[in-house]
Amino acid sequence: MSHDGTHHSGPHAKLIYMANQISKFMESKPTAEGIELFASHINDFWEPRMRRHLFEVIDAGGAGLRPLALDAARLIKRPAAQTV
């Protein structure tokens, strides 16, 4: 969200925000189920470019991501290397 000063800039800021939104919904479920559903949601709906940006955040320590989103990272499918 460009108008929210607490976020990062560029494509990452929006993805962190979106991931946290999904995370908040999943947090009302039992932890294991929430983590699993978070990951499958991302795998099912996020295009590889978006997942690649998400992994850039995760690989840099995941600053800004809610804990459930970070915990789910191991279940998220890493996109194949960029192809042209």
Kindly list the residues in this chain that would bind other proteins in the complex (CB under 8 A): 1-4, 10-11, 14, 18, 21-22, 24-25, 27-29, 41, 43-50, 79, 82-84
Which CB, 11 or 64, lies closer to other proteins? Answer: 11
Question: What is the token pair recorded at 81?
Answer: 């290397």
Asked if 53 and 17 touch (Cβ cutoff 8 Å), the reply is no
| DSSP annotation of 5 | T
Which CB, 40 or 70, lies closer to other proteins? Answer: 40
In the complex, the smallest distance separating the C-beta of residue 74 from other proteins, rounded to whole angstroms, is 19
* Conformational region of residue 61, where left means phi above 0, alpha means psi within -120 to 50, and beta covers everything else: left
